[in-house]
Structures are given as C-alpha cells and as structure tokens.
Amino acid sequence: MSSTHPLARYPRWITRWLGYRATPPPKRPEYLVWFWSFIGAFSGLCVLQAVFGHARYFIDRGVPSMVASYGASAVLCYGAIEAPLAQPRALIGGHFISALLGLCITKLFSLSPHFESIRWLAASLSTSVAIVAMQITGTTHPPAGATALLPALDDDVWHLSWYYLPVVLLSSMLVLVTALLVNNVQRRYPIFWFTPATPPVAKTSAGLGAPNVQSDDADGIAGRSSSATVSTSAPQPAEKQTAGDIV
C-alpha cells in the first residue's frame, strides 16, 4: 500500500523550497556542488552578521555579530547538505539544547567564589553533557558542542545570560532559511525534517584489522572441500566389518 507524502498536496513552487521532490533529483557535477556550497556559506554568514552586527536592537544588548559555532554549522548546512547531522532537526535542536545546558551548568559553577579558576571545568562538563543530550534526543549536531561551552569561555556570551537562548534560536532559523533558499536551486535540502539524525557508522578498513570477507569465504570453501575429501576417502566402519567377516 503506497503512502503519499504530506507535502505532495501543495503546489510544487512551494514544496520545492521545503526539500520535497516527487522523484529523486539527479546527481550534480562536483563543480556545481562546490559553487553552491560557497554561495550558501557566504550568504548565510553574511545574513547572520548583518542581523546581529548592524541591527540597533542587538547592538544595544551587546550581542556578538555571530555566535562562533555557526561557522562550523555552515560547513554542514551548505557543504554537506545530505548528511544526517546537517538536517533541520539536528541544526535547531542541537544548538538550542546545547545552549540551554551550557548556560545552566555555567550558572551553577558561577555560584562558586572560585568561578574564574574553574571555568575550564564548566566548559568541559557543558559540552560532555550536551553530547549525551543530543544523542538521547536524536539531535546530534557537532558544531553545537561549541555552543555549549561558549557561556563558560566567552565573556560576551556569558554577559548575555538567558538572552543567549533566543539569540541561538534565531541564528539557527536564519541559517535554515538561507539553506532552504540556496540549497534548493539545483540541489535538495533537507533530506528529512523530523526523522532522528543517526550518525553514520563508518566501515573499518582492512588495514585497521577489518575481516577480509573474500578470504574468509575462500577459507571456508577450502575447509569444506577438504572435509568432504577426507570423509570420502576414509573407509566406512560397515565396510571394515564386512571385510573381517569374509576373511
């Protein structure tokens, strides 16, 4: 029984920019991938710095022109758009969860009179906890690890306090909107919206001790052939008994 995609009922000129295709898109030449990766990253980072670096609303509140971890997000969202870790669920959820945990953990450490000397511990713990939280929620996004440790290491981010959360959420949305516009001109993004982003598992190479399937199969075939030969050439117990009776 075939199922119809929920976006199939809407006009194509709308669903195209949401990543929906009735048929899989063709594989693009590498030079087109490189071109649109450059255009996407350049446009996305320019949008972030234009909003936070030139809008008086954010300047008056001391918001940095860009949260540094979004430079790494640009690599995924514009250059590796088919990676599970680059999809919207991971982008938005990963950054927000990491920012929330990093801020909460750093605020707990700030209650100590020795806060300045243990900020390194707050940063390490923040990223470690954020990694586990992203794994549990299916929102693993590697650049978000930096989002978690910034409240402990960056004074500009620390002074934002709880205002850091809406800044991160808005930054993720701006990156996502730019990615939807640029990546869907000749490519396709996202691959999925809400499916949990499971990190891909790389296969171990033979040089690192991976089993050689072909040699194992050959050894198995040779072993079975040898066993068959031995069993065929060996005299059967019944034949021995018959020969003894004749003598």
Q: Between these two residues, 204 and 178, which has the higher pLDDT value? A: 178
Question: Do 172 and 95 meet the contact criterion of CB atoms below 8 Å apart?
Answer: yes
Which of the four pLDDT bands, split at 50, 70 and 90, describes residue 217?
A: low
Which of the four pLDDT bands, split at 50, 70 and 90, describes residue 93?
A: very high
Residues 6 or more apart whose Cβ sits within 8 Å of residue 68: 146, 150, 154
pTM over 0.85: no
* pLDDT over 60 at 25, yes or no: yes
Q: Between these two residues, 101 and 203, which has the higher pLDDT value? A: 101
- How far is residue 1's CA from residue 108's CA, in Å, rounded to a whole number? 54
User: Rg for the chain (alpha carbons), in Å?
Assistant: 29
Tokens 């450059």, residue? 38
**How many helices (DSSP H) and strands (DSSP E) are in the chain?**
11, 0
Residues 6 or more apart whose Cβ sits within 8 Å of residue 122: 105, 106, 108, 109, 151, 152
